Homo-oligomer: A and B are copies of this chain.
């Protein structure tokens, strides 16, 4: 989920609750607060807690609330993860540390996530996002971490079919879910054994994402592939093309509360908004 700000630029808990309520009604399995598209790196610790608390109020107990709690230091990550648990999150989603990339070997990642999973009272999900972090999990790192009883899965944002498959294979036999993190690769990931997805586009067209998953789940590859094709343009528009500003603009266009992003991000241009409108037009049935 994106994080809406009020007119003063502060976190807007009422807007969060309103958006979450609509997404839940659309049938999503859960909500991720404080992911990349939630502008988590732009919030301070106090604000982060407020976002989780607001989301929890609106996410019913039969759905999942995940909270992004990755920090650069192991101790900071543990601290944020424990706070998230105490605020009612069901699991934490922890991106790889990235500032000291060349030191983030498999051993370092295993030590980091093991320490976090040991210290956190709720399940931990790994989060692989090399386009941003410059760090990626080797399949062997996934194999080792999947054996930890408190590590429940990985969000994989690449669309590398070989890598997605390797994560599935590396964690076979463990209670561990590979989740697609990039909408254009959602269907392929499901074919390869992914158990679901965490997608920015689901903030705008949640029904399309849910229907794609359900089509695949009942073995209707043709329908799933067709929905995949229809999902791509809006997914690209709210990520690589227009980024978080585009995501928030698209939310505004579809009845959610988006609002402006926080600086140094700037609002989507009028041109971008026009382009988003066109991209959304053929998707009305999913809004």
Range, interface on chain A: 35 or more
A184 touches B159 (CB 8 A): no
Bound CA–CA A76/B47 (angstroms): 12
Q: Which of B74, B109, B161, B166 contacts A161 (CB 8 A)?
A: B161
**Known: A108-B264, A188-B161. Contact between A132 and B101, CB under 8 A?**
yes
At the interface with chain B, which of A84-92, A201-209, A237-245?
A: A237-245
A115 part of interface (Cβ distance < 8 Å): yes
- How many protomers of this protein does the assembly include? 4
Q: Which residues of B contact A232 (CB under 8 A)?
A: 162, 165-166, 169
Q: Which residues of B contact A189 (CB under 8 A)?
A: 161
Q: Taking chain A's interface residues, is the majority helix, strand, or loop, or is none over half, making it mixed?
A: helix
Q: Which residue from chain B places its CB closest to the CB of A101 in the assembled complex? A: B132
At the interface with chain B, which of A18-26, A36-44, A141-149?
A: A36-44
Q: Which residues of B contact A36 (CB under 8 A)?
A: 99
- Distance (Å) between the CB of A164 and the closest chain B CB? 8
